[in-house]
Amino acid sequence: MSQHRLEKSLSRFEPFRSGAYRALQYFVLAAGLAAMTATTVPELPSALRTWLAVSLWCCLGFFAGELAIKCWLRSRSEPASDYLLSSSGAIDVLAVLPIPVALLIGVPGDSAWLLASLWLLKLTAFVPGLSLLGRVISLEARPLASVFVIFLIVLLLASVALYILERAGQPERFGSLPLSLWWAVTTLTTTGYGDSVPQTFMGRVIAGIVMICGLGVFGLWAGILATGFAAEHRRRDFIQNWDLVTRVPFLRNLDPPAIIELTHMLRRVDLAEETVVVRRGRPGDCMYFIVSGEVEVELDPRPIRLGPGSFFGEIALLEGGQRTATVVTTVPSTLLLLEVSDFREFTAHHPDVAKLVEAEATRRAVKNH
Amino acid sequence: MSQHRLEKSLSRFEPFRSGAYRALQYFVLAAGLAAMTATTVPELPSALRTWLAVSLWCCLGFFAGELAIKCWLRSRSEPASDYLLSSSGAIDVLAVLPIPVALLIGVPGDSAWLLASLWLLKLTAFVPGLSLLGRVISLEARPLASVFVIFLIVLLLASVALYILERAGQPERFGSLPLSLWWAVTTLTTTGYGDSVPQTFMGRVIAGIVMICGLGVFGLWAGILATGFAAEHRRRDFIQNWDLVTRVPFLRNLDPPAIIELTHMLRRVDLAEETVVVRRGRPGDCMYFIVSGEVEVELDPRPIRLGPGSFFGEIALLEGGQRTATVVTTVPSTLLLLEVSDFREFTAHHPDVAKLVEAEATRRAVKNH
Amino acid sequence: MSQHRLEKSLSRFEPFRSGAYRALQYFVLAAGLAAMTATTVPELPSALRTWLAVSLWCCLGFFAGELAIKCWLRSRSEPASDYLLSSSGAIDVLAVLPIPVALLIGVPGDSAWLLASLWLLKLTAFVPGLSLLGRVISLEARPLASVFVIFLIVLLLASVALYILERAGQPERFGSLPLSLWWAVTTLTTTGYGDSVPQTFMGRVIAGIVMICGLGVFGLWAGILATGFAAEHRRRDFIQNWDLVTRVPFLRNLDPPAIIELTHMLRRVDLAEETVVVRRGRPGDCMYFIVSGEVEVELDPRPIRLGPGSFFGEIALLEGGQRTATVVTTVPSTLLLLEVSDFREFTAHHPDVAKLVEAEATRRAVKNH
Amino acid sequence: MSQHRLEKSLSRFEPFRSGAYRALQYFVLAAGLAAMTATTVPELPSALRTWLAVSLWCCLGFFAGELAIKCWLRSRSEPASDYLLSSSGAIDVLAVLPIPVALLIGVPGDSAWLLASLWLLKLTAFVPGLSLLGRVISLEARPLASVFVIFLIVLLLASVALYILERAGQPERFGSLPLSLWWAVTTLTTTGYGDSVPQTFMGRVIAGIVMICGLGVFGLWAGILATGFAAEHRRRDFIQNWDLVTRVPFLRNLDPPAIIELTHMLRRVDLAEETVVVRRGRPGDCMYFIVSGEVEVELDPRPIRLGPGSFFGEIALLEGGQRTATVVTTVPSTLLLLEVSDFREFTAHHPDVAKLVEAEATRRAVKNH
| Cβ under 8 Å to A: B residues 319-338 | 320
Q: Which residues of C touch A190 (CB under 8 A)?
A: 190
The confidence band for C54, taking pLDDT boundaries of 50, 70 and 90, is very high
A190 touches chain D (CB under 8 A): yes
Q: Residue D338's closest chain C neighbor by CA? A: C235
Q: Which residues of C touch A192 (CB under 8 A)?
A: 191-192
H helical segments located in D169-200? 171-174, 177-188
A26-50 mean pLDDT: 90
> Torsion over CA of A49, A50, A51 and A53, rounded to 10 degrees?
90
Task: Check residue C295 and give its pLDDT.
Answer: 93
The confidence band for A33, taking pLDDT boundaries of 50, 70 and 90, is very high
Q: Which residues of A touch B37 (CB under 8 A)?
A: 177-178, 181
CB contact under 8 A, A133 and D181: no
The span from the CA of C264 to the CA of C261, in Å, is: 5
A27 touches chain D (CB under 8 A): no
Q: Which chains form contacts with chain B, at 3 or more CB pairs under 8 Å?
A: A, C, D
Task: Check residue A253 and give its pLDDT.
Answer: 81
Minimal C-alpha gap between D230 and chain B (Å): 12
- Do C180 and C174 contact (CB within 8 A), yes or no? yes
D172 touches chain C (CB under 8 A): no
Task: Check residue C348 and give its pLDDT.
Answer: 83
Minimal C-alpha gap between A263 and chain C (Å): 24
Task: Check residue D10 and give its pLDDT.
Answer: 52
Task: Check residue C18 and give its pLDDT.
Answer: 65
- Spell out the residues 6+ positions from residue C120 whose beta carbon is closer than 8 angstroms to its own: B152, B153, B156, B157, C29, C33
The confidence band for C55, taking pLDDT boundaries of 50, 70 and 90, is very high
A68-82 mean pLDDT: 78
Over residues A180-205, the pLDDT tens digits come to 999 999 999 888 898 889 999 999 99
C189 touches chain B (CB under 8 A): yes
Q: Which chains form contacts with chain D, at 3 or more CB pairs under 8 Å?
A: A, B, C
The confidence band for D244, taking pLDDT boundaries of 50, 70 and 90, is confident
Task: Check residue B13 and give its pLDDT.
Answer: 54
Question: Is the pLDDT at C108 greater than 60, yes or no?
Answer: yes
Task: Check residue A26 and give its pLDDT.
Answer: 87
Over residues A194-251, the pLDDT tens digits come to 888 999 999 999 999 999 888 888 777 777 777 777 777 778 778 888 888 888 888 8
Task: Check residue A14 and give its pLDDT.
Answer: 55
The confidence band for C1, taking pLDDT boundaries of 50, 70 and 90, is very low
Of the candidates C145, C212, C220, the beta carbon closest to that of D189 is on: C212
DSSP letter string, C165-195:
HHTTT-HHHHSSHHHHHHHHHHHHTT---SS
- Do B211 and B190 contact (CB within 8 A), yes or no? yes
Residue of D118, D148, D173, D186 to mutate for C, most C C-beta atoms under 10 A = D186
Over residues C267-306, the pLDDT tens digits come to 888 888 888 888 887 777 888 999 889 999 988 778 889 9
Of the candidates B193, B197, B219, the beta carbon closest to that of C222 is on: B219
Question: Chains B and C: how many Cβ contacts under 8 Å?
Answer: 153
Q: Which residues of B touch C194 (CB under 8 A)?
A: 192, 194
Return the higher-pLDDT residue of D32 and B220. D32
D223-232 mean pLDDT: 76
Lowest mean pLDDT among B44-58, B146-160, C3-17, D310-324: C3-17
CB contact under 8 A, D227 and A228: no
Pairing of strands C286-292, B286-292: unpaired
Of the candidates C128, C195, C222, the beta carbon closest to that of B223 is on: C222
Low-confidence ranges of chain B (pLDDT < 50): 1
Of the candidates B144, B194, B215, the beta carbon closest to that of C193 is on: B194
- Do A147 and B133 contact (CB within 8 A), yes or no? yes
pTM of the model: 0.83
Task: Check residue B55 and give its pLDDT.
Answer: 93
Which ipTM value was assigned to this complex? 0.80
Bridge partners, C276 (sequence order):
C328
The span from the CA of B150 to the CA of B241, in Å, is: 40
Task: Check residue B8 and give its pLDDT.
Answer: 54
Of the candidates A178, A222, A246, the beta carbon closest to that of B226 is on: A222
D59-76 mean pLDDT: 87
Minimal C-alpha gap between C116 and chain D (Å): 34
Over residues B310-328, the pLDDT tens digits come to 888 888 787 767 888 889 9
Task: Check residue B368 and give its pLDDT.
Answer: 58
Return the higher-pLDDT residue of C17 and A325. A325
CB contact under 8 A, D193 and B193: no
Task: Check residue C16 and give its pLDDT.
Answer: 62
Task: Check residue C367 and give its pLDDT.
Answer: 66
Neighbour tally for D223: CB within 10 Å: 32
Return the higher-pLDDT residue of A37 and A84. A37
The span from the CA of C132 to the CA of C136, in Å, is: 6
Amino acid, res. B348: A
The span from the CA of B207 to the CA of C186, in Å, is: 9
A283 touches chain D (CB under 8 A): no
The span from the CA of B313 to the CA of D181, in Å, is: 49
Task: Check residue A1 and give its pLDDT.
Answer: 42
DSSP letter string, B81-132:
HHHHHSHHHHHHHHHHSHHHHHHHTT--HHHHHGGGGGGGGGHHHH-THHHH
Q: Which residues of C touch A222 (CB under 8 A)?
A: 222
D215 touches chain A (CB under 8 A): yes
- Spell out the residues 6+ positions from residue D101 whose beta carbon is closer than 8 angstroms to its own: none
CB contact under 8 A, A341 and D242: yes
Amino acid, res. A159: S
| CA geometry: angle C267, C270, C275, nearest 5 deg | 120
The confidence band for C14, taking pLDDT boundaries of 50, 70 and 90, is low
B108 touches chain A (CB under 8 A): no
Instruction: Indicate the average pLDDT of chain C.
Output: 83
Question: Is the pLDDT at D1 greater than 50, yes or no?
Answer: no
The span from the CA of C18 to the CA of C30, in Å, is: 18
Minimal C-alpha gap between B98 and chain D (Å): 30
| Cβ under 8 Å to B: A residues 45-64 | none
Minimal C-alpha gap between C199 and chain A (Å): 15
Of the candidates C160, C197, C222, the beta carbon closest to that of D195 is on: C197
Bridge partners, C333 (sequence order):
C271
Return the higher-pLDDT residue of D256 and D307. D307
- Do C200 and C162 contact (CB within 8 A), yes or no? no
B190 touches chain C (CB under 8 A): yes
Most confident segment among A103-112, B237-246, C318-327, D204-213: D204-213
H helical segments located in chain A? 3-11, 19-39, 46-75, 80-85, 87-96, 98-104, 109-113, 122-126, 130-139, 141-166, 171-174, 177-188, 201-245, 249-252, 256-265, 314-319, 340-349, 351-368
Q: Residue B194's closest chain A neighbor by CA? A: A194
Minimal C-alpha gap between D166 and chain B (Å): 21
DSSP letter string, A135-179:
HHHHHTHHHHHHHHHHHHHHHHHHHHHHHHHHTTT-HHHHSSHHH
Percentage of chain A beyond pLDDT 90 is 22
Over residues D166-200, the pLDDT tens digits come to 999 999 999 899 999 999 999 998 888 988 899 99
